[in-house]
Amino acid sequence: SIPGLAQSSVFLLALHLLQGSSASFVQLNGNGYEGVIVAIDPAVPEDETLITEIKDMVTTASTFLFEATEKRFFFKSVSILIPENWKNITQYKRPKQESYKHADVIVAPPTLPGRDEPYTKQFTQCEEKGEYIHFTPDFVLGKKQDEFGPSGRAFVHEWAHLRWGVFDEYNDDERFYSASSKKIEATRCSTGITGTNGVYKCQGVICITQRCKIDANTKLYEKDCQFFPDKYQTEKTSIMFMQGINSIIEFCNEKNHNREAPCLQNKMCNSRSTWEVISSSEDFKGTVPIAAPPPPPVFTLLKISERTVCLVLDKSESMKNYNRLNRMNQAVKYFLLQTIENGSWVGIVDFDTTAHIRSKLIQIKSNSERRKLLESLPTEASGGISICSGIESAFQVIKEIYPQVDGSEIMLVVAGEDKNIRNCMDKVKQSGAIIHSLAFGPNADPAVTEMKLCQTWSLFSRHSQSSWLERQTKLLMSSILGWHSSITGDIDRSQCYVSRGGL
């Protein structure tokens, strides 16, 4: 049987890999949202105007959000993720953790042709955060403003879905209801919004609006009847009904909320107003209003590029025990032959007392490059240990291709303890690299974990059958390094990054 300690290690790893795989990176710092990711889908044709319009949309939304939330929230920093197939521009930087999988807003072609309506992929529980907002390029470019209103206002409407788990205050399936006043009312919030009811019909290019008839069975207006808000309004609520109306600048609150309307907000949130839900959120509880206007959002343009990985492999005396060197090599072999994608750049460094660059970065185009890299794996374990030498050599390898190491990945495999590892902690923390580490055995340097660069996976067993440990090592290597920043391939956010510095 598998020893309990090793079983626990793999079980905890599985839990770690499964949790939050597509979670947002957004954090509320003071009153400003940081880490918002807007990703442009690779299927969107290249158009730099789209980037400008995204910036304008978010900037306008930030001011609108600030006023709508009684001077509490605004957008502080936003990353725009640009597809790999768009041309390179100097101001584009390489992503660190940011990927399509973690995008809060996705700009992509319509799900159904001709359907440009903004929407949020939202779950069914009131107050539960959504997954992402979807805008189409035509919507962001302002081509659908007559239908959906200004993009900045629509963004705030969708952000309320995404961040606070509120719902729409209209209902296309139940457009009217019988109010306590015995009148037929349009489903809306608030009831102060004025308008007319009618059936809009077109024959060719000629369109007319007819009066609504009452259905004998439902005692409500016929199915095709719609509510058309008046162009000029004085009512200020609600953003979750029709944010495109100029006068609307607030969310419905407990005083003006229409609790009778058969809207999703009432159905899902027990008839509470949107502002009641928002004001009970952790965001709201952790902030107070601020007097000064917020600064405009800071934008970072990130462009997906080829993946860059440097393997940093321990070949010190500690790797002799329990056939660790061979097991590590088997896992690396699996990674190189089965996991890493064509187009990626891979280099190999090993270390004992000093580091040795075994392979500079090679771009994988076929099995030929994969086999060449396999020839660079260490064949003998001996000597002391210098983890810092290994990491610094990895930086050197990466910088031969890229001036900065931001967004590059280092996979550190270590079994021994290094008393000097703290000498390079600051340099590593400032590098901007994504650091993965895999600890072989109970004596692997605890300082690797103390760096707090990322999760450190421990794997050790004295089980007599080495095949089990070999399988788990392959699983770890594949799981940790088998992610890729693409619209379909990013499966894991367990890696980490360290803040950008001067390397």
Q: Which residues of the chain have pLDDT under 70?
A: 1-22, 440-503
Identify which of 350, 412, 336 has the alpha carbon closest to the alpha carbon of residue 379: 350
Identify which of 341, 324, 309 has the alpha carbon closest to the alpha carbon of residue 472: 324
Is the CATH number 3.40.390 carried by domain 31-166+269-302? yes
pLDDT at position 462: 41
DSSP string for 105-125:
EEE-S-SSTT----EEE--SS
At residue 162's C-alpha, the angle toward residues 497 and 53, to 5°, is: 80
Identify which of 351, 330, 344 has the alpha carbon closest to the alpha carbon of residue 409: 344
- Domain 4-17+306-481 shares a fold with domain 31-166+269-302: no
pLDDT at position 111: 86
CA distance 330 to 323: 11
pLDDT at position 456: 44
Identify which of 463, 215, 289, 101 has the alpha carbon closest to the alpha carbon of residue 472: 463
pLDDT tens digits along 9-27:
433 343 333 333 457 899 9
CA distance 326 to 338: 18
CA distance 166 to 159: 9
For residues 168 and 263, the answer to whether their CB atoms sit within 8 Å is yes
What pTM does this model have? 0.77
pLDDT tens digits along 408-438:
889 888 887 788 888 888 888 888 888 888 7
The DSSP bridge pattern shows strands 206-210 and 195-203 to be antiparallel
pLDDT at position 4: 38
Q: Which sequence spans correspond to the domains of the chain?
A: 4-17+306-481, 31-166+269-302, 176-229
Question: Which CATH number is 4-17+306-481's, of 3.30.360.10, 3.40.50.410, 3.40.50.300, 3.40.50.1820?
Answer: 3.40.50.410
Catalytic residue set: 158
